[in-house]
Amino acid sequence: DAGITQSPRHKVTETGTPVTLRCHQTENHRYMYWYRQDPGHGLRLIHYSYGVKDTDKGEVSDGYSVSRSKTEDFLLTLESATSSQTSVYFCAISGTSGGEGFFGPGTRLTVL
């Protein structure tokens, strides 16, 4: 987890509220990713960024948005949280396109 932090680490929220998760890196890596991990589904890509202000969708992007205004920060926003978004969210970084990814410690989100 060195060089990557996620905040908050745990969050409980109510259905319909907006939630923002933050990923911060000190490695100056170009690529940043947001995944969710659920039993039986493994790691699924939500959104990723290939540079400041450059983002693209992953396979499960509905209901999520991202922003990257600085190299070191990548924000994931759940615009109106639903119970189906209860999950563990991991941020990952990579110095090369599709290269080795290094993961943050994760955020456990519960939507009631």
Partner 1 sequence: QKEVEQNSGPLSVPEGAIASLNCTYSDRVSQSFFWYRQYSGKSPELIMSIYSNGDKEDGRFTAQLNKASQYVSLLIRDSQPSDSATYLCAVNSNTDKLIFGTGTRLQVFP
Helix then strand then coil, in percent of the chain rounded to 5, is 5, 60, 40
Cα separation, 64 vs 3, whole angstroms? 25
Q: Is residue 31 a contact partner of residue 50, using CB atoms and an 8 Å limit?
A: yes
C-beta of 26: minimal distance to partner 1 in Å?
A: 16
| Residue nearer to partner 1 on the CB measure, 1 or 14 | 1
Q: Given candidates 10, 53, 62, 98, which one binds partner 1 under the rule CB under 8 A?
A: 98
| Residue nearer to partner 1 on the CB measure, 33 or 64 | 33
Q: How far is CA 24 from CA 11, 111, 112, in A?
A: 17, 23, 27
Region from 11-19, 20-28, 65-73, 94-102 binding partner 1, contact rule CB under 8 A? 94-102
x/- mask, partner 1, residues 29-68, rule CB under 8 A, reads --x-x-x----xxxxxx--x-x-----x-x----------
DSSP 27: S
Burial 75-89 (b: 16+ CB within 10 A, else e): bbebeebeeebbbeb
Decide if residue 74 touches partner 1 (CB under 8 A). Answer: no
Positions touching partner 1 (CB under 8 A) are: 1, 31, 33, 35, 40-45, 48, 50, 56, 58, 90, 97-106
